[in-house]
Amino acid sequence: MQELTRQTTPACKKQTSVLIAMPMLSLCGCEGVQSSLHPRGPHAQAIADIGWLMFGGAAAILLLVMTLALYAIYRPPAQRRTLSSHVLIAVGGLAFPVVTLSLLLGYGVTSMAKLRAHPVAQDAASIEVVGNRWWWDVHYRDADGSLMTTANEVRIPAGVPVTVVVRSDDVIHSFWVPNLTGKVDLIPGRRNHVVLHADMPGSFRGQCAEFCGAQHARMAFHVIAETPEAHAAWQQAQRAPARAPTEPEAIRGREAFISAGCVACHTVRGVGTARASGPDLTHVGSRSFIAAGTLENTRDNLADYIARSQVLKPGSGMPLYSELDEATLDAIAAYLESLE
Ligand code: CUA
């Protein structure tokens, strides 16, 4: 009795409530963004179903084991002895795990086969994502073979499965959009694929899920599912070369962009098409984020990133342009913002 009283001191109550609150808070913190608990397509749903089944099963087994443990501790010796019967050990310790784990394996393998089945040789199979340290190249190949490149944003039509081929030329990355599907590794020398299938239009955050160096955590991207009509219009707009700036500040920015040497690494179709070692910026103004999901795409953030790339994303391939004055930075940012 004394022990029980000790267990319910205020400090102990506080500890218990913290233990209960922490997992609850972590669940609330997801709010559906980049969360596999909020599936938004059939593939993510299948993965969530496996997760909930395993969670439910594990919780039931934990409850059963704890009940048996309490029974073994607190019941009188005569009753406890029933737990050591050979039948119970054979059923509970051997037959039950063998049957349960076999069923789970069968369910997992069947679900995996469904996830791996992918429609090949349709138009959408022409999307290719290449992982770089630390950003994503996204290529769209048309039926006639023409190529269009964008970065850090994968746009797909909603309501249909879309196969995306993924590869890497440097280190292993992993492509993961929890709301839509599971992880797939980008392995140098291999071409893997993943099927993206969103039920409804929406924007889904993705993240590199394999440690790939200093800025692994800032290697995010967005998958944007849109109606087939909106997607076709977007593709057509993206295939066009960069629009010429009309605003005086953006015109100055275009000159500065060329003279500062930005075109040596960034392709802006219609301005410079050197082999781009950095993201294609032809329509950068149409994207929601810059620097692979690091910053929202605003004029201030564009200027800030050009001036302080090695502070905001140390180790990235983007050199520092701290020698550019504020007016020039603003002009370049205005120009990039106009590239819709
Ligand atoms: Cu790329 Cu982690």
219 lines ligand 1 (CB under 6 A): yes
- Report the distance separating Cα 112 and Cα 183, nearest Å: 12
DSSP secondary structure string for all residues of 117-184: ----SSGGGGEEEEEETTEEEEEEE-TTS-EEEEESEEEEETTS-EEEEEEESSS-EEEE-TTT---E
Ligand 1 binding pocket includes 173 (Cβ within 6 Å): yes
Q: What number of other Cβ atoms are within 10 A of residue 96's Cβ?
A: 13
Strand 127-132 to strand 295-296: parallel, antiparallel, or no bridges (unpaired)? unpaired
- Closest ligand 1 atom to Cα of 216: 2
Alpha carbons 118 and 115: distance in angstroms, whole number: 8
Q: How confident is the model at residue 125 (pLDDT cuts 50, 70, 90)?
A: very low
Mean pLDDT for 249-254 is: 94
Atom of ligand 1 minimally distant from the CA of 172 = 1
**What is d(CA 142, CA 148) in angstroms, rounded to the nearest whole number?**
8
Cα–Cα distance measured from residue 142 to residue 281, given in angstroms and rounded to the nearest whole number = 20
Report, as an integer, the average pLDDT of 132-149: 89
Exposure string over 231-252, b if 16+ CB within 10 A, otherwise e: beebbeebeeebeebeeebbbb
- For 12-63, write each residue's pLDDT tens digit: 445 545 555 555 555 544 568 899 999 999 999 999 999 999 999 999 999 9
In Å, the largest CA–CA distance within the chain is 93
Q: Distance from the CA of 175 to the center of ligand 1, in angstroms?
A: 8
Q: Does residue 239 have its Cβ closer than 6 Å to ligand 1?
A: no
- Output the CA 316–ligand 1 centroid distance in Å: 12
Q: What's the 58 CA to ligand 1 centre distance in angstroms?
A: 32
CA 188 to ligand 1 center in whole angstroms: 13
In our burial notation (b when 16+ CB lie closer than 10 A, e otherwise), range 192-228 reads: ebbbbbbeeebebbbbbbbebeebbebbbbbbbbbee
Q: Tell me what the mean pLDDT of segment 115-126 comes to.
A: 60
pLDDT at 321: 87
131 within ligand 1 shell (Cβ under 6 A): yes
Q: How far is the CA of 273 from the centre of ligand 1 (A)?
A: 26
pLDDT tops 80 at residue 161: yes
> What is the tens place of the pLDDT at every residue in 190-246?
999 999 999 999 999 999 999 999 999 999 999 999 999 999 999 999 999 998 999
Question: Ligand 1 centroid vs 281 CA: distance in angstroms?
Answer: 21
pLDDT band at residue 78, thresholds of 50, 70 and 90?
Answer: confident
- Please give the mean pLDDT across all residues of the chain: 87
CB distance 52 to ligand 1 below 6 Å: no
Evaluate: CB of 183 within 6 angstroms of ligand 1: no
**Percent of the chain at pLDDT above 70?**
87
Residue 304: what pLDDT? 93
In the numeric block, which tokens belong to residue 39? 């599936």
Q: Coil, helix or strand for 283? A: coil
Measured from the CB, is residue 166 less than 6 Å from ligand 1?
no
Alpha-carbon distance 192 to 170, whole Å? 15
Residue 171 has pLDDT above 70, yes or no: yes
Determine the pLDDT at residue 90: 92
pLDDT digits (tens, 9 = 90+) for 288-340: 999 999 999 999 999 999 999 999 999 999 988 888 999 999 999 999 999 98
Q: From atom 1 of ligand 1, which residue's Cα is the shortest distance away?
A: 173
